[in-house]
Chain A
Amino acid sequence: MWTYDKKLEYPINIKCKNPRLAKFIISQYGGPDGELAASLRYLSQRFGMPDQKSKAILNDIGTEELAHLEMVGTIVHQLTDGVPAEELEKAGLGSYYTDHGVDIYPQSAAGTPFTAAYIACKGDPIANLQEDLAAEQKARATYEKLIDLCKDEPDVIDPLRFLREREVVHFQRFGEALNGVHEKLAQKKFYMNSPCNCGRGSTN
């Protein structure tokens, strides 16, 4: 269950349109290391976690990622809303405009539509949390590349910096959750490879 808050997690107010940047930034909406993939990855993995801390952290970070999805969508919207077709085409968004106008469509910077193949739910809490740690680092690296591409656009860089910093915090929290899961699995009578235990919270 979720309740919508009619505000952004961090304010975005972009004064100058710039479809060229939007073409890159859309990747953090629906690309391989984007916020949609992050949110679905964590919110789906939480069901199989063996301890309270990892269930909570996946639930709460998965929820925060939805707020980040809204932020990235907002950036792309403000960069492209009202931009004429001709300018979109010059910015390399002619194909995008053909299929989506200036709607916000989940795709990568290269135009690949979002796919559930971007997320993993392996039925194994250690593998899942390791995946999440890597995902946070990949998202951080993507935001750094985007910040490099957005030079001289402080209105765009500011929220991207915020989003980058959140990846660093999430990485830290997932690392702590992973330690907790290791401890849980090291407890007596828990057999990681047993089919009845694997990926389930079936021990006490």
Chain B
Amino acid sequence: MFNTGPCQETRCEMLKKIREYNFAIIELALYLDTHPEDQKALCLHKEYTKCYKDLTDKYQKVYGPLTINFPCNRWRWLEEPWPWERSDL
């Protein structure tokens, strides 16, 4: 599920992986809220947040921002489709 492939990844595949890491982080965060002493969960959270950051940085440089916290040379926030619009992303 979390294997990183070659650099030839398509946009769709990258976004799928971003979603997977994001989901794992959400799930671990909820678990850690009620099990803050669980070291195994904490380790996984650390691992996935790093993967998430690295992959979103890489994605946003090519395909535009996923949040308004990403710096752009032009306002690319308007250029990409919104999540509710039907697309293969």
Do chains A and B interact in one complex?
yes
Taking chain A's interface residues, is the majority helix, strand, or loop, or is none over half, making it mixed? helix
Q: Is B47 an interface residue (CB 8 A)?
A: no
Assuming the contacts A5-B67, A7-B19, asked whether A60 and B29 have C-beta atoms less than 8 A apart, the reply is yes
Look across to chain A and name the residue whose beta carbon is closest to the beta carbon of B82.
Answer: A6
- Residues on A with C-beta less than 8 A from B84 are 8, 12, 70, 73-74, 77-78
Q: How far apart are B37's CB and chain A's nearest CB, in angstroms?
A: 11
Q: Contact string, B18-34, partner A, CB cutoff 8 A, digits 1/0?
A: 11001100110111011
Provide the residues of chain A in CB contact with B66, threshold 8 Å: 5-7
Once the chains bind, are B30 and A60 in contact (CB under 8 Å)?
yes
Q: What is the size, in residues, of chain A's interface with B at 8 Å between Cβ atoms?
A: 29
Q: Which of A7, A10, A73, A176 has the most CB of B within 10 A?
A: A7
CB pair A8 B27 closer than 8 Å: no
Interface size class of B (residues with CB under 8 A): 20 to 34
Cβ contact within 8 Å between A3 and B30: no
B30 near A7: Cβ-Cβ < 8 Å: no
Could you tell me if A7 and B34 are in contact, using CB atoms closer than 8 angstroms? no
Q: Indicate if A56 sits at the interface (CB-CB under 8 A).
A: yes
Is A9 a contact partner of B26 (Cβ separation < 8 A)?
yes
Per-residue contact bits, chain A 79-94, to B (CB 8 Å; 1 contact, 0 not): 0000000000000000
Cβ distance B13 to chain A, nearest Cβ, rounded Å: 12
**Cα–Cα, bound, A169→B23 (Å):** 13
Minimum distance in angstroms from A8 CB to a CB of chain B = 5
The yes or no answer to B40 lying at the interface (CB within 8 A) is no
- B residues less than 8 Å from A12 (CB atoms): 84
Known: A5-B66, A73-B84. A57 touches B34 (CB 8 A): yes
Select B31's contact among A70, A74, A173, beta carbons within 8 Å: A173
Task: Report the Cα distance A186→B22, complex, angstroms.
Answer: 37
Interface check B86, CB cutoff 8 A: yes
Q: Once the chains are docked, how many angstroms separate the CA of A10 from the CA of B16?
A: 9
Q: Does A200 reach chain B (CB closer than 8 Å)?
A: no
Pick from B18, B33, B77, B88: contact of A60, CB under 8 Å: B33
Within 8 Å of chain B (Cβ to Cβ): is A25?
no
Q: What 3 pairs between A and B have smallest CB-CB spacing?
A: A176-B34, A74-B84, A56-B33
